[in-house]
Amino acid sequence: MVKIRCVVERITYRNEGNGYSIIKARVKGYTDLIAVVGNLLNVHVGSVLLVTGDWKVDSKYGRQFVAHTWEETLPASVYGIEKYLGSGLIKGIGPKYARKIVAQFGDQTLDVIESEPSRLIEVPGIGARRVAMIQKGWETQKEIKNVMIFLQSHDVSTAHAARIYKAYGKDSISIVNENPYRLADDIWGIGFKTADTIAMKLGMEKEKYARCRSGLLYALNKISEEGHCYALREQLIAKGCELLDVAEHLLSMSLDEMIRAKDVIIERHVIEVSGTESEPDMTDAIYLPPFYYSEAGVAKKLSRLIQAKRVEGISNPEHIIRAVEKQSGIRYDEVQLQAIQCAINSKVMVLTGGPGTGKTTTTNSIIRIYQASGNTIILAAPTGRAAKRMSETSGM
């Protein structure tokens, strides 16, 4: 890693969402301005930076210094102070007033603003109202700097720090200190693992409810990523124990509290073991609210379709099935034939299966059979991509 000290001369590009910036900076010993790239939140023209990073040669943009970490230091020269204040960083000071203030106080300018801001009234053209504006702007910049130093000292990346400050402002430090797991709920891109790392650095106890809650939500999300709408209570607690290294009874208590707070939804499920005469088991299914309401909504719509008036069926279905089979040159296996017959005899059918199990062939066959019976077919898909795929495979 290399360290450079530089003065920001201009900002070429900035992403306000994550703080990624490209700046041109003056570095001692270099005639030309140097391009510095990285997450440089709240860096302004005139800022004096101590940057740690590496040099690289970009095929398109040439030599650049890639910033990994950085800290802002106050300018020491009169020229640097004037450029820093004139950058628009502090509300109430532009290039014109920066020149006047520096002309009045010289290299003591920043000490005056920090310790004796009331003396700014000595500068020609600056009144009490502008002094108050400058004082407030200076304090805001100090808050931002303090937040960045605090977050970066706990290994929070500059990009994440930018999002945290944007969400919480001056309350960032107190919120993170009180409950770092709020970050996983509130800040896009910060999950449980990052929040947990911060919490452990802050010395939070492993058994805290905030940690148990966030860990259980993370575990439930991971289960949903595997294609499940819910987790069995025992399964979720076991995953939580493995993730959090916390006693089972504490996680069970935490889960009960999450249910009361409606962070998750519980539904009692009946598990019947086929081929036995034993009483069915009861188990608790734990849902994330969006999955629960989606599943309930799907069930309600299916129920409505099943109860709807039946349309006129297909006369002589066996003959039409064989005719379509012959025309397409496809011999249906037993499962496909059952699926086709189910579609003909039912108001609603759900067709599922893994890749290569014949879903497309079966779907196309159902379409052809209804078309051969003189029916009009309407296809619908939830996304444009799915609609395009359906059109390609069905020829409609």
> What is the average per-residue pLDDT within 386-395?
83
Q: Tell me: the pLDDT tens digits for 121-152?
A: 999 999 999 999 999 988 888 887 788 778 87
Paired strand residues for 72:
49
| Angle ∠(249,253,259) on CA atoms, nearest 5 | 140
| Angle ∠(241,245,246) on CA atoms, nearest 5 | 70
Report which secondary-structure segment, H or E, holds 38: strand 34-39
Position with higher pLDDT, 289 vs 86: 289
> Residue 256: is its pLDDT beyond 90?
yes
Report the chain's mean pLDDT, rounded to a whole number.
Answer: 87
Q: Which of 157, 146, 241, 237 is nearest to 194 (CA)?
A: 157
CATH no., domain 217-287:
1.10.10.2220
- Within 8 A by CB and 6+ apart from 104, the residues are 122, 123
Say yes or no: do domains 2-144 and 217-287 share a fold. no
Position with higher pLDDT, 276 vs 90: 90
Residue 345: predicted pLDDT: 82
Give the residue extent of every domain in the chain.
Answer: 2-144, 154-201, 217-287, 320-394
> Residue 314: is its pLDDT beyond 80?
no
> Residue 233: is its pLDDT beyond 90?
yes
* Cα dist from 256 to 246, 250, 290, whole Å: 16, 10, 19
> Residue 183: is its pLDDT beyond 80?
yes
Q: How confident is the model at residue 79 (pLDDT cuts 50, 70, 90)?
A: confident
Residue 272: predicted pLDDT: 60
Please state, in angstroms and rounded to a whole number, the distance separating the CA atoms of residues 359 and 350: 11
> What is the average per-residue pLDDT within 58-84?
85
In this prediction, what percent of the chain has a pLDDT beyond 70?
A: 96
Q: Tell me: the pLDDT tens digits for 1-51?
A: 899 999 899 999 988 777 789 999 999 889 899 999 998 877 888 888 899
Report which secondary-structure segment, H or E, holds 267: strand 265-271
Question: What one-character DSSP code corresponds to residue 367?
Answer: H
* Burial (Cβ within 10 Å: 0-12, 13-18, ≥19) of residue 20: middle
pTM, 2 dp: 0.67
> Residue 271: is its pLDDT beyond 90?
no
Residue 261: predicted pLDDT: 96
> Residue 246: is its pLDDT beyond 60?
yes
The yes/no answer on whether domain 2-144 falls in CATH 3.40.190.10 is no
